[in-house]
């Protein structure tokens, strides 16, 4: 028997052996083959931002699929040009590079940072500082920058050009800057690390340090971007503007796409042939990305995200007040919320799943709530009721 047969699957074992499987989805709901319904507040880890089987996204996808779905960046792609222009029109950026995932968008950003200094004849400036507890994806550069031993062990040799400092420690950050430092990368709201927004004052001080030392500031908004926090990107409500930004996840509403955004000054180093991606910016992915933006940029959409976020947050706060022995704190922005637990978060998540509510674990023993951005207040009430029921069962145990 070969190893694939032993595991009952030809897939590598890096995801373990999940058993729950869905056959269909609609809005905030997922259904198994036997018709069991789940309320999805994980949304593919902040990916299906407009819910499952969204008719507008299906329409954009099928129309494009029936026309042309892949050509190559050897040719002009008008859907990519339009999506790029709309990202530029609605952010700090002047230029966009499209790829297929968050890690690729992050990697593109790291390459742009290095290339920027190389083009200025300052290739000694190549090191990038990151914050502890970050997550930037699973490529070699991304794991080296986040420096989580669980992700790095057996993969990374040396420091791979990254330095790391404690989240929130400005003095440590100042001390880490050397003549070789090129940039600083951070998530404006840490996601995997435990839904932790970077305090505004700290963020402003980091921007000031970058300006003082001529460093580039890169925001990883793979999870916090595309409306998730109630603004198109989280930085827009934190009052600090980066030089580069990585986006992905919600940008395709479930179709793989990533984007690296940058100012003209920074992007100028990316001359023809300096970087590329076979699939990046395909007509299919960018047509769907445009359909996602049609919704997000619609008048009132982001306000509704904010209102839904306030509703969910206040419901979670009520549960904390009701169950202080089990829960401790609600964190995050908009519909990117974390619930810090005193009880074991993983065990609570398993009970919620058994009760029909899907959520995700994050660092700091917390539970992540990442519902669709168009989640209704009734669906939020239903999720809170499931949570309440599960928590009250806990309290009844001896």
Are 105 and 260 in contact by the 8 Å Cβ rule? The answer is: yes
Q: Which is nearer to ligand PLP, 140 or 319 (CB)?
A: 140
Q: Please report how close the Cβ of residue 137 comes to ligand PLP at its closest, in angstroms.
A: 3
Q: Please report how close the Cβ of residue 248 comes to ligand PLP at its closest, in angstroms.
A: 5
Q: Which is nearer to ligand PLP, 49 or 326 (CB)?
A: 49
Say how many C-beta atoms besides its own lie within 10 A of residue 241's C-beta. 15
Is residue 338 at the binding interface for ligand PLP, with CB under 6 A as the rule?
A: no
Which H or E run includes 3? helix 3-6
Q: Please report how close the Cβ of residue 42 comes to ligand PLP at its closest, in angstroms.
A: 12
Is residue 220 at the binding interface for ligand PLP, with CB under 6 A as the rule?
A: yes
Applying CB under 6 A, among 30, 42, 61, 106 the residue interacting with ligand PLP is: 106
Q: Please report how close the Cβ of residue 256 comes to ligand PLP at its closest, in angstroms.
A: 8
Q: How far apart are CA 101 and CA 87, in angstroms?
A: 17
Is residue 226 at the binding interface for ligand PLP, with CB under 6 A as the rule?
A: no
Applying CB under 6 A, among 51, 137, 227, 242 the residue interacting with ligand PLP is: 137
Listed residue (149, 123, 105, 109) closest to 280, CA to CA:
105
Q: Which is nearer to ligand PLP, 220 or 379 (CB)?
A: 220
Is residue 101 at the binding interface for ligand PLP, with CB under 6 A as the rule?
A: yes
Q: Which is nearer to ligand PLP, 52 or 136 (CB)?
A: 136
Is residue 136 at the binding interface for ligand PLP, with CB under 6 A as the rule?
A: yes
Q: Which is nearer to ligand PLP, 27 or 137 (CB)?
A: 137
For the chain, give percent helix, strand, coil, nearest 5. 40, 20, 40
Are 115 and 270 in contact by the 8 Å Cβ rule? The answer is: yes
Q: How far apart are CA 101 and CA 161, in angstroms?
A: 22
On the 0-12 / 13-18 / 19+ scale of CB atoms within 10 A, 83 is: buried
Q: How far apart are CA 3 and CA 150, in angstroms?
A: 24
Applying CB under 6 A, among 102, 188, 227, 371 the residue interacting with ligand PLP is: 102
Kindly determine how many residues on this chain lie close enough to bind ligand PLP according to the rule CB under 6 A: 15
Q: How far apart are CA 331 and CA 334, in angstroms?
A: 10
Q: Which residues lie near ligand PLP (CB under 6 A)?
A: 45, 101-103, 106, 135-137, 187, 191-192, 220, 222-223, 248
């Amino acid at each position: 028997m070969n190893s694939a047969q032993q595991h009952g699957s030809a897939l590598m074992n890096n995801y373990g052996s999940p058993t729950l499987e869905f056959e269909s989805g609609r809005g905030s709901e997922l259904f198994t083959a036997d018709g069991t319904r789940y309320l999805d507040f994980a949304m593919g880890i902040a990916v299906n931002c407009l819910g499952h089987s969204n008719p507008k996204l299906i329409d954009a996808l099928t129309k494009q699929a029936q026309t042309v779905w892949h050509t190559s960046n050897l040719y002009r792609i008008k859907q990519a040009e339009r999506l790029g222009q709309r990202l530029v029109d609605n952010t700090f950026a002047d230029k966009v590079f499209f790829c297929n995932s968050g890690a690729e968008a992050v990697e593109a950003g790291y390459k742009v940072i290095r290339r920027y200094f190389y083009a200025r004849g300052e290739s000694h400036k190549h090191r990038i500082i990151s914050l502890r507890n970050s997550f930037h994806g699973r490529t070699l550069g991304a794991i080296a920058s986040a420096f989580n031993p669980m992700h790095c062990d057996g993969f990374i040799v040396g420091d791979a050009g990254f330095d790391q400092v404690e989240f929130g420690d400005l003095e440590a950050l100042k001390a880490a800057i050397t003549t070789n430092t090129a940039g600083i990368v951070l998530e404006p709201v840490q996601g995997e690390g435990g839904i932790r927004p970077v305090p505004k004052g700290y963020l402003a001080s980091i921007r000031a340090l970058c300006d003082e030392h001529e460093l580039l500031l890169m925001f990883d908004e793979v999870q916090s971007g595309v409306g998730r926090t109630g603004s198109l990107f989280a930085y827009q409500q934190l009052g600090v503007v980066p030089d580069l930004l990585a986006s992905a996840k919600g940008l395709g509403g479930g179709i793989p796409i990533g984007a690296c955004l940058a100012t003209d000054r920074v992007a100028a180093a990316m001359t023809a042939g300096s970087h590329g991606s076979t699939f990046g910016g395909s007509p299919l992915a960018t047509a769907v990305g445009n359909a996602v933006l049609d919704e997000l940029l619609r008048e009132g959409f982001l306000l509704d995200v904010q209102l839904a976020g306030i509703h969910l947050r206040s419901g979670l706060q009520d549960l904390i007040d009701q169950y202080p022995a089990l829960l401790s704190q609600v964190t995050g922005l908009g519909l990117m919320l974390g619930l810090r637990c005193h009880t074991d978060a993983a065990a609570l998540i398993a009970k919620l799943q058994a009760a029909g509510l899907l959520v995700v674990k994050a660092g700091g023993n917390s539970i992540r709530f990442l519902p669709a951005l168009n989640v209704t207040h009734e669906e939020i009430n239903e999720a809170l009721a499931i949570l309440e029921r599960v928590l009250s069962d806990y309290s009844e145990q001896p």
